[in-house]
Structure formats: structure tokens, C-alpha cells
Amino acid sequence: MEYQLCPSILSADFNRLGEQIQALEGQGLKWLHIDVMDGDFVPSISFGMPVIKSIRQESGMFFDVHLMVTEPERYIQDFVACGADSITVHAEACEDLERTVERIRDTGVRAGIALKPATSAMEVSYLLHDIDMLLIMTVQPGFGGQRYIEDSTEKIRQARQMMREEGVDIPIQVDGGINDQTLPLVLEAGASRIVAGSYLFGGDLAENVKKVRKIMGHYAEKV
């Protein structure tokens, strides 16, 4: 299983966004988690295509775009055009989830499905063979800096179990409230793509990345 730390730029200092992405890249991180919010699926609005297009010019990182957007199918082509390498859509946001996943894959980028805390992973079991990643939200989507929802640990474990039963081995991504205390819980439960925003960007970015990687390294070795 490939482990990836996916820094969420939602918590970056937007005045120095390019510089901070370079710093992450300089530390050897491969993935960048990009949260797009539309003010409809979630209450807040973040940023969209122009920002992604702009950072794409300077960065070779893998752009992991998390769309917290109603009917994201409308924008797949636009996000691919501005540089997404992977597009994750919310199961709750799509009228036809299967078709949306198919449209994403038709463009050649990777496809992920995200679940809000109240949505059971069983609801998307029929699509497990068609996706590249399952994102289990460990907070309510919409804002950075929230507290990890404890029930998520069991949900990750159950999703891992469901995958074993279905005979698939796709990575589980977790997003929200990840810090040095909650990270061991999600790793132990079976997550391998770790999104972190406020914990990484609060304080010394390089130091925080090192701390997280140390914990992840411990688990990765055991696999």
C-alpha cells in the first residue's frame, strides 16, 4: 500500500501560496490536496479553476482535487483542463454518481468518491471496482481546523473490511482533523492517503511535515 501525505492548501497562507507549495515539493511530498467549495454543497466558498491553473504552472505535484460542489459533473472538463490529476466527488452531491465517475475516468484522470460522516461506505460498494480512491471525511466538509469525529475510526475499519470482502484494494483517504494524536488512529484503521491542513500549516511547516512523516513511516514499515 502506497502511503501519501496530502497537504490541504485550504490552510495555506494565500499571500505566499506558490512559495509554500514549493516548500512542500522541496521536502519530497508528491500530493497536493485542493479543496474546491461552491457555497451550495457546503456553506463556504474557497477557490476554483484560476487558482489551480496558476499553481499548475510552477508545480509538478500530483493535484488531488476534492470537489465539495453540487453536481460536479458540470465541471469535470474544466478541472482537468486546469491541471487536476485526480478528481474526487461527493456521493451526496451527484444525481448519477456512476455516470459522474465514468465521466471522470473518460478524461484519463483518477476518480475518487468522498463520503460525508453520515454516509455509509456500503452505499458506494457497487462502485468500488470503478474508482481509484475512497475519501472518508473525518469532519463535516466545509471548513479546515475542525475536530476529528471519533466514530470515523470504526468507519475506516469497516470500509477496509468491505473492500476485502469485495476483493478490491483501493486506498482510503481521510480528511479533517488530522494531527499527531489522530493520525495513528486512522493509520491503524487502514487509511493510507492522509490529508492535513491546519496541523501542517499552523506553525513551522517543515517541522510539522517531518513529524507527520515520522508517524506515517512507522506504519508504512509494518505493511
**Residue ranges in contact with ligand DX5 by CB under 6 A:** 8, 10-11, 33, 35, 66, 139, 141-146, 175-178, 195-199
Question: Residue 99 CA to chain centroid, in angstroms?
Answer: 21
Of 13, 35, 96, 132, the catalytic one is 35
Of 62 and 168, nearer to ligand DX5 (C-beta) is 62
Judged by beta carbon distances under 5 to 8 A according to partner kind, the member of Zn ion, ligand DX5, none in contact with residue 62 is: none
User: Any catalytic annotation for residue 35?
Assistant: yes
Binding site for Zn ion (CB under 5 A): 35, 66, 175
Q: Which of 15, 28, 3, 116 is nearest to 66 (CA)?
A: 116
Closest-CA residue to 137 (of 146, 129, 128): 146
Q: Which residue is nearest to Zn ion (CB)?
A: 66
Catalytic residue list contains 180: no
Cα separation, 112 vs 104, whole angstroms: 9
Q: What does the angle CA 154 – CA 222 – CA 165 come to, to the nearest 5 degrees?
A: 45
Nearer to ligand DX5, 161 or 181 (CB): 181
Whole-number minimum distance, CB 181 to ligand DX5, in Å?
Answer: 13
**C-alpha angle with apex 87: 179 to 28, nearest 5 degrees?**
50
The smaller minimum CB distance to ligand DX5, of residues 39 and 126, is found at: 39
Active site positions, annotated = 35, 175
